[in-house]
Structure 1
Amino acid sequence: MENNKMISALCYVSLLFAPFLLPIIVYFVIKDKRVKYHAKRALLSHSIPTVLSLLLVFFGFIGVFSMDYDNMNGFIVKMFVLMGIYFAITIGVIIWNLVQAYRVFRVGF
């Protein structure tokens, strides 16, 4: 039981060192339903910053190649605002993952 708690908590903390790899491996290797539940939640929370960064890059490329030089200042301001929102969401996801790891490890499933 203690090992299952540790593995579940490690799935959340793996955002810092192996974001997708560890939750996927744990999901397919471990048979316990609670551990699989936490691995799925961790994988979903790890995908949020990745999807947002891909959208940010996509909109950045579209904007850079479709803007003319005169309108570039407004686009740059919008991109900095979007990057700030992205970093705030990413920090929030990191904090959420660390809190979930603490709750799983200390409080229980």
Structure 2
Amino acid sequence: MMRQLLSSLSYFSIFFAPFIFPIIVWIVARDAYVAKHSKRALLSHLFPFLAAIPLLYLTIIANHAGSIFGYVILFAVIYFGSFVYNIVKGIQVLRDDV
């Protein structure tokens, strides 16, 4: 049960410590199951910000209101998708029979 709780908290950390908690769990965890889920949670927390880099670059190059509006909408969709993914995975891991 502790394995599931730590793994699930790595995903749910999007609410309280999106990058710090999964990194700490990943480094400290001796269990492969917990380390795998904490690494996945960390990547899912980082993805929206990594996706924002090229979007921001393209927005600066285009430099007009339509592209900025498009960037904000696309970032919001990516971030919302990542947020929902983390909640769903956190619940799935809690319900998992390991």
TM bracket, shorter-chain basis: 0.7 to 0.9
Asked if structure 2 preserves the Cα contact closer than 8 Å seen for 1:23 and 1:39, the reply is yes
Moved over 6 A (4+): none
Taking structure 1 as the reference length, what is the TM-score of the superposition? 0.80
Q: Secondary structure at the match of 2:13?
A: helix
Name the CA distance, whole Å, in 2 between partners of 1:98 and 1:108.
18
Shift of 1:105: 0.3
Aligned partner letter, 2:66: V
Identity %: 34
Name the CA distance, whole Å, in 2 between partners of 1:55 and 1:38.
27
**Counterparts of residues 23-62 of structure 1 (less than 5 Å):** 23-62=22-61
Is 1:11 the equivalent of 2:6?
no
Name the CA distance, whole Å, in 2 between partners of 1:25 and 1:61.
35
What are structure 1's unaligned runs of at least 5 residues?
65-74
Is 1:87 the equivalent of 2:59?
no
The structure having more radius of gyration, on CA atoms, is 1
Name the CA distance, whole Å, in 1 between partners of 2:40 and 2:81.
15
The equivalent of 1:69 in structure 2 is none
Name the CA distance, whole Å, in 1 between partners of 2:2 and 2:66.
48
Shift of 1:54: 3.3
Name the CA distance, whole Å, in 2 between partners of 1:54 and 1:15.
20
What are structure 2's unaligned runs of at least 5 residues?
none
Asked if structure 2 preserves the Cα contact closer than 8 Å seen for 1:13 and 1:101, the reply is yes
Greater percentage in helix: 1
Taking structure 2 as the reference length, what is the TM-score of the superposition? 0.88
